[in-house]
Amino acid sequence: MLPTRLSKSSQQLSHSHINVSQDQQNPTKMASSASKLLLAISVIVSAAITVSAGNMNQEFDITWGDGRAKILNNGELLTLSLDKASGSGYQSKNEYLFGKIDMQLKLVPGNSAGTVTAYYLSSQGPTHDEIDFEFLGNLSGDPYTVHTNVFTQGKGNREQQFHLWFDPTADFHTYSILWNPQRIIFSVDGTPIREFKNSESNGVPFPKSQPMRIYSSLWNADDWATRGGLVKTDWTQAPFTASYRNYNADACVWSSSAASSSCSSSSSTSNSNNGDEWLSQELDSASQERLKWVQKNHMIYNYCTDTKRFPQGLPPECNIP
C-alpha cells in the first residue's frame, strides 16, 4: 500500500493555452478554431500510445536513498541498495493510463530475509489505485515469495502469493504488468501468474481513471516480510542490491495537455497496426492453461480462498468465473 511504503521510506531516509477571445466575435473563425482544436486534441490522443524502451536515465528519476540507487552503463542498468541506514527507490518520469509494462529484474541474492523489493504502478491520494509486484526475501536456499495485490479506490486486500519455478537471484527475468480496460495480467517471463478482470458490472471497482507512475524500492520490512517477521534481516550481509534493465512500456502516456482524454478513447482513433493490441488483449487458451499450471503448482496464498479472513463472505470478485 503506497502510504505505508512512503512512510517507511521517509523513516529510512531520516532514516497550450489557446486564446479565442477574438474568434468568439466571428462564428466562422470560431468554427475554424474549433476544428483546429479538435485536430490538435486528436493528434495528442493518437500520439498518446507510445513505446518507451531502454535508457534508465530518460525514463526514471531516483527519488530517495542518498546515493544508494545508481544508474550505470550509460543508462542500461539501474541498481537499488539497502543497508542498515536506508533503502532506496525510483519512479518513472511518465504517468500512464493503461499499458503493458516490462522490466527485467535480478533480485537480492543470498540471505535476503527481511528485505522487500517492490515494483508497482500507483496513483496518488487516499483513493489511489495500485498494481503490485513485491518480492519478499528469504534465507539462502529458500524460495522468494512473489506477492501481488490490486488496489482500487484506496482498497487492497486482494493478495495472491507465489513461489517461482526458478532462482530469481541467479539471472535477470522479465516481470510484466498488462493493464487495459478489461483486465490486469501479471506475468513472469511471458507466463501469466495472475489475472484480475474488470467486474464493474458486479459492483467491483476497477482501476481505469487514475493515471499511475511506476515505482520501485528496496527496503527493510523484517517486521513482516519473512515468515511473518520471525526471520530478521542479517545486516552483516549488507549492502543488499537488486538490479533492473531492459525496461519497456507500450502504454498510453498521461499528460496535462491531454488530461481530458481517456486512454480508452485513443484506441478508437488508432488502428491495429500502431502497436496497441494490448489495449484489448486477453489470455488465449494456451495462456489460460499456463495460468492454471502456475496457480495449481506455485500459488501459496489466495485471498479468494481465505474464508477465515473474510468470515462475512469472500469478496464479490472471488465468486465470478
Task: Judge whether 174 and 188 are in contact, CB under 8 Å.
Answer: yes
Catalytic residue selected from 59, 95, 130, 317: 130
Task: Judge whether 116 and 93 are in contact, CB under 8 Å.
Answer: no
Is 130 annotated in the active site?
yes
Task: Judge whether 53 and 247 are in contact, CB under 8 Å.
Answer: yes
Alpha carbons 80 and 98: distance in angstroms, whole number: 26
Of residues 184, 182, 141, 191, the one with CA closest to residue 162: 191
Instruction: Annotate 289-306 with DSSP letters as a single string.
Output: HHHHHHHHHTEEEEGGG-
Task: Judge whether 188 and 164 are in contact, CB under 8 Å.
Answer: yes
Alpha carbons 263 and 92: distance in angstroms, whole number: 18
Catalytic residue selected from 59, 76, 95, 134: 134
Alpha carbons 148 and 321: distance in angstroms, whole number: 20
Annotated catalytic sites, by residue? 130, 134
